């Protein structure tokens, strides 16, 4: 597959289920609707059908389970202070990275659970994950450098969906800063294997970017060299001393769950929606166990 260069030249995309190549792939004024670069959707993976998103309704139940579990701890008198004497602080700091179109606030339940187990958690400083992936990785790299310097040890990254892809690429780029990553419903093997609603969202972002709105994904980020570079980096092997856990759910209504199971990762299956991976108590326990499984070394 040829890389996408100079917008309309050498473009290979999929439009409404059929392959379109060359200048015809790009209308004169607008990006083609449902544009997904072929290299982001390798053979063997498929985007969830339109009805699959109905499974995401279980996020209401998952939120209820989270509230119930918190109530149970409160009634039972269970309380683990952030810096209590009973909590070991000899653990790696954790940076949490949100998914596509989401911000740091969506990972508050995860952050709370990790703090209760003695981890220092840090936000990614991403208010809405809608920008260029290469710029997002550079921003996160600077964030990791800051946290590692402050704590004197390598950092663990927990990334939801797109945040997991960013974490995977960072672990390859800077293993000197990253001791381990945990991905949650991240389609690492096929980023393009996502629900049509996400494709429309990407299309809208590209259109707004072309209209001059700053800070949004451009065509290069979803079907060009930027996308190709990010994907290629995320597929490179990890150093042996970087822990890697991939949490996934077969009930995922947003991405193809098979694309979330990286062969280099320790797979952990849970039963929740894609959105519920950051609030379902079972998924949260999977994250806290993975993050706390191995203590890193000081820098």
Domain membership flag for residue 205: no
| Residues 6 or more apart in contact with residue 43 via CB below 8 angstroms | none
Number of domains within the chain? 1
Sort strands 12-15 and 18-21 into parallel, antiparallel or unpaired. Answer: antiparallel
pLDDT in tens, 230-250: 999 999 999 999 999 999 999
Domain membership flag for residue 172: yes
DSSP string covering 172-214: HH-TTTEEEEEEES---S-TT-B-HHHHHHHHHHHHHHHTT-T
pLDDT in tens, 28-87: 334 345 457 889 999 999 999 999 999 999 999 999 888 888 766 654 455 554 444 444
The chain-wide mean pLDDT, for the chain, equals 85
| Residues 6 or more apart in contact with residue 67 via CB below 8 angstroms | none
Sheet holding 18-21, edge to edge: 18-21, 12-15, 36-37
CATH number at residue 190: 3.40.50.1820
Task: Give the CA distances from residue 199 to residues 240, 251, 254, in Å, rounded to whole numbers and listed in that order.
Answer: 35, 20, 11
Domain membership flag for residue 296: no
Q: With H, G, I as helix, E, B as strand and everything else as coil, classify residue 43.
A: coil
Mutual angle of helices 108-116 and 281-291, in 10-degree steps: 50
Domain membership flag for residue 243: yes
pLDDT in tens, 156-211: 999 999 999 999 999 999 999 999 999 999 999 999 999 999 989 999 999 999 99
The more confident residue out of 272 and 26 is 272
pLDDT in tens, 93-139: 999 999 999 999 999 999 999 999 899 999 999 999 999 999 999 99
Cα-only R_g, the chain = 19
Asked if 264 contacts 237 with a C-beta cutoff of 8 angstroms, the reply is: yes
Domain membership flag for residue 84: yes
Model confidence at 268: pLDDT above 60: yes
Domain containing residue 121: 51-194+211-291
Distance CA 69, CA 51 (A): 30
Q: φ and ψ at 96, to 5 degrees? A: -105, 135
Domain membership flag for residue 22: no
Predicted confidence band at 91 (pLDDT cuts at 50, 70, 90)? confident
């Amino acid at each position: 597959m040829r890389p996408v260069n100079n917008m309309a030249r050498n473009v290979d995309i999929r439009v409404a289920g059929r392959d379109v190549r060359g200048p015809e792939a790009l209308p004169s004024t607008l990006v083609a609707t449902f544009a997904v670069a072929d290299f982001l959707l390798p053979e063997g993976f498929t985007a969830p059908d339109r009805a699959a998103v109905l499974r995401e309704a279980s996020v209401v139940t998952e939120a209820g389970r989270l509230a119930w579990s918190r109530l149970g701890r409160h009634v039972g008198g269970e309380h683990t202070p952030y810096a209590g004497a009973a909590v070991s602080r000899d653990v790696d700091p954790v940076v949490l990275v949100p998914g596509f179109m989401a911000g740091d606030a969506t990972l508050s339940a995860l952050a709370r659970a990790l703090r209760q187990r003695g981890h220092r958690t840090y936000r990614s400083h991403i208010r809405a994950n809608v920008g260029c992936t290469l710029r997002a990785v550079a921003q996160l790299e600077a964030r990791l450098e800051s946290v590692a310097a402050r704590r004197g040890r390598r950092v663990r990254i927990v990334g939801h969906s797109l945040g997991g892809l960013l974490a995977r690429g960072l672990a390859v780029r800077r293993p000197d800063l990253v001791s381990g990553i945990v991905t949650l419903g991240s389609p690492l093997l096929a980023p393009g294997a996502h629900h049509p609603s996400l494709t429309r969202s990407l299309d809208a972002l590209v259109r707004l970017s072309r209209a001059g709105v700053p800070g949004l994904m451009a065509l290069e980020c979803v079907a060009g060299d930027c996308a190709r570079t990010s994907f290629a980096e995320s597929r490179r092997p990890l150093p042996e001393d970087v822990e890697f856990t991939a949490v996934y759910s077969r009930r995922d209504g947003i991405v193809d769950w098979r694309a979330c199971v990286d062969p280099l990762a320790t797979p952990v299956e849970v039963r929740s929606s894609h959105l519920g991976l950051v609030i379902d108590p079972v998924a949260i326990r999977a994250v806290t166990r993975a993050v706390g499984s191995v203590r890193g070394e000081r820098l």
